[in-house]
Amino acid sequence: MSTPMSRSNRRSFLQTTTAVFPTIIASTAIGKDGRAPAGERISVGVIGTGKMCHGYHLNALLKYADVQFAAICEVDKNRRESAKRKIQATYSGKSDYKIPNEYTDFREIIHRDDIDAVLIATPDHWHAIPVIEACKAGKDVYCEKPLTLTILEAQRCIQAARKHKCVVQTGSQQRSSVFGPFRIACELIRSGRIGKIKSVTVGVGGPSKWCDLPAEDLESGLQWDMWLGQAPERPYNSILSARDGVSKPWPQWRAYREYSGGGHTDMGAHHYDIAQWALGMDESGPVEIIPPDDPSTGTGVRYIYANGVEMIHGGPSGCTFTGTEGTLRIDRGHLSADPADAIKEKLADHEVHLYESNDHHRNWLDCIRERKRPVADVEIGARSVTVVHLGNLAYWHGQTLNWDPKNWKFADAEANKWLDGPRRDPWQLPSV
């Protein structure tokens, strides 16, 4: 058995295979059983194998000849075994197939030298720590959106990825033309098709609340304390982590502040991300956040950007942009404008053309080989989720916030205490 390459040597080797593995892999590069030669595959470890991973990420990545799933980490035995069966069914009969190792602690995956990258599809409160630690271990990362639970986590993820030169893709798939022509809508807006943008509405759900669920009996097979992680200790409830987390409806941990920012960060991580892209704010954000008169309604927060554009939480689903010469609305499966001519004519060469990706996972894999930033790079994901976090803080505290996006801090020292929250040992936020 050959000795595994060091991380740096393996990264260099994968770069040399980029020409062999473009977005559409050449048939001459495929090894036995329709797979790439073992040494030329990107070795991936999965952290979190619930409904999103099982029904989306595994389906997406298992179709690629140059990917090999080497390890699975999941605190729930049912979900872990379900993912393992799915991977086995795909690789069954392949001559060089190896059963992926199983873990319940993500650190055992990221410390393996033979793993190149990790895919993180855990609940939101378990995003930042694995992202940061994976980057420190030299792994490239795909992390589900919203990228983080807090603003400080968002900043720290950027710092970790940049310091350790890792490729980090945020799961904001709308940037890869998934579910609709989002990139085209942003190009039309930035090309001035509806004039100078004055305002944007973002129609998504509201913020989360503190968890008040009653205790239930814990079945065997779930490491509940590990599921909680940094969150406060509390009894098990199946609403937070259903034991059949693959076929049942989506678990509702998103509704609670200990684990997520609610519907606001859920679909908001998608649609605010598109608003940021269309406004050219991928490296910045709003400077003032104003709550509605009644913050308990969970809608109506206003964001003011330095250029005067106002963004409002509310309105129809998706994003509606109002400019000096018309309006444009983009949502999943929907693109419309008034006047309609604003979107009828194809973009000319001289107009704005943005980063083009038509497959979010393939974009990540190609960027791993080419050592380039992906379409939803870590800073993009961090900046977009920070917008939503800012809105949630305005709702929760009922006060106007003045934000410095360049320096990642509030003008008010008291508000800066809200950049992060209390953490249960030993899961403090790592340094980079």
Residue 261: pLDDT band by 50, 70, 90 thresholds?
very high
Of the candidates 130, 157, 175, which is a domain's last residue? 175
pLDDT at residue number 17: 55
pLDDT at residue number 37: 72
Tell me, yes or no, whether 169 and 102 share the same domain.
Answer: yes
Does 374 sit behind a cis peptide bond, omega within 30 degrees of 0 on the bond before it? no
Q: What is the dihedral of CA 276, 264, 122, 237, to 10 degrees?
A: 180
- Reply yes or no on whether the pLDDT at 27 is more than 50: no
pLDDT at residue number 19: 46
Nearest in space to 386 (alpha carbons), one of 128, 174, 50, 209 = 128
- Reply yes or no on whether the pLDDT at 350 is more than 90: yes
Question: pTM to 2 decimals?
Answer: 0.92
Does 286 sit behind a cis peptide bond, omega within 30 degrees of 0 on the bond before it? no
Helix, strand, coil share (%) of the chain residues, nearest 5: 35, 20, 45
> What average pLDDT does this structure show over 170-188?
96
Strand partners, 118: 45, 141
- Reply yes or no on whether the pLDDT at 6 is more than 70: no
- Reply yes or no on whether the pLDDT at 117 is more than 90: yes
3-state secondary structure of 117: strand
Is-contact 195 323, C-beta < 8 A? yes
Beta strands across the sheet bearing 67-73: 101-103, 67-73, 42-47, 117-120, 140-143, 168-170
> What average pLDDT does this structure show over 230-255?
87
Q: What is the mean pLDDT of the chain?
A: 92
pLDDT at residue number 272: 98
pLDDT at residue number 24: 42
3-state secondary structure of 125: helix
Query: What is the count of structural domains for the chain?
Result: 2
CA distance 354 to 400: 33
Angstrom distances, CA of residue 188 to CA of 50, 352, 359, 375, 388: 37, 8, 21, 18, 24
Q: What range does the domain containing 196 cover?
A: 176-207+263-419
Q: What is the dihedral of CA 215, 219, 225, 231, to 10 degrees?
A: -40
pLDDT digits (tens, 9 = 90+) for 72-96: 999 999 999 999 999 999 888 776 7
Tell me, yes or no, whether 156 and 279 share the same domain.
Answer: no
Pairing status of strand 101-103 against strand 67-73: parallel
Tell me, yes or no, whether 108 and 134 share the same domain.
Answer: yes
Tell me, yes or no, whether 164 and 181 share the same domain.
Answer: no
Tell me, yes or no, whether 17 and 158 share the same domain.
Answer: yes
Tell me, yes or no, whether 330 and 377 share the same domain.
Answer: yes
Angstrom distances, CA of residue 139 to CA of 45, 61, 143, 356: 10, 17, 12, 24
- Evaluate whether residue 356 is within a structural domain: yes
Is-contact 42 7, C-beta < 8 A? no
Give the CATH number of the domain where residue 44 resides: 3.40.50.720
- Reply yes or no on whether the pLDDT at 276 is more than 60: yes
CA distance 28 to 238: 49
Furthest CA-CA distance within the chain: 67
- Reply yes or no on whether the pLDDT at 1 is more than 90: no
- What's the first-to-final CA gap in the chain, in angstroms? 34
Tell me, yes or no, whether 197 and 314 share the same domain.
Answer: yes
**Residues 400, 404, 408, 412: is their CA dihedral positive or negative?**
negative
- Number of DSSP helices (H) and strands (E) in the chain, helices first: 14, 14
Residue 7: pLDDT band by 50, 70, 90 thresholds?
low
Q: What is the DSSP letter of 56?
A: I
- Evaluate whether residue 428 is within a structural domain: no
CA distance 318 to 202: 6
3-state secondary structure of 219: coil
Residue 26: pLDDT band by 50, 70, 90 thresholds?
very low
Residue 208: pLDDT band by 50, 70, 90 thresholds?
very high
Tell me, yes or no, whether 325 and 200 share the same domain.
Answer: yes
Burial of 204 (0-12, 13-18, 19+ CB in 10 A): buried
Tell me, yes or no, whether 155 and 273 share the same domain.
Answer: no
If one compares 247 and 415, the residue with the highest pLDDT of the two is 415
Would you list the DSSP string of 286-305? -SEEE--SSGGG----EEE-
- Evaluate whether residue 229 is within a structural domain: no
pLDDT at residue number 151: 98
CA distance 88 to 68: 11
